[in-house]
Amino acid sequence: MELLILIHVLSAIIGVGPTFFGHVLTRPSQTVEELRASYRFFKYLELFPKIGGTIAVLSGLVLYLIGNYGSFTQLWLIGSLVLYILIQIIVIGFITPKQKIIANWLNDEKNNEEVMLDLEILVAQKQVNTRFYFASVLGVTLFIFMIIKPIIFA
């Protein structure tokens, strides 16, 4: 059981962790070259939520099934799942499409010599940054739900 808890906690941190770096990598005050470097990092970071997040959900369900955590309808349990799903919706549904627009602009050869972002790209960048902050707040709340409730009522 302890090993499964360790796997669950580590995979949750690894799965949600890159969300906390998103707003750092997407800060609006970057130069075009800094932003290009940031987007190169995203290629590596996006693997962690896919793998870690999947393991976290699966290990969490196994922990619930074999553990003594009470009813599935408890606020902390349902809340944790809802928060995780909301983070995924924000990242996949609202951040990723805007990032693709920005990445396409950054990778377009006609913009190789640009030193300033187009207004449309700057607005998209600010939206991505704001959404990463929102996802980070949800991530902190998720960790609070997962840590406090099982400790108090274990």
Dist. CA 106–CA 80, nearest whole Å? 36
Among 36, 49, 6, 31, smallest CA distance to 106 is for 36
Q: What is the 8-class DSSP label of residue 92?
A: I
The domain limits of the chain are 2-153
CA-CA distance, 93 to 103, in Å (whole number)?
A: 16
Give the pLDDT confidence of 104-149 residue by residue, as tens digits.
999 998 888 877 888 999 999 999 999 999 999 999 998 888 788 7
Q: Residue 133 gets which letter from DSSP?
A: H
Tens digit of each residue's pLDDT (9 = 90 or more) over 27-66: 888 889 999 999 988 878 888 888 888 898 899 889 888 9
pTM value? 0.83
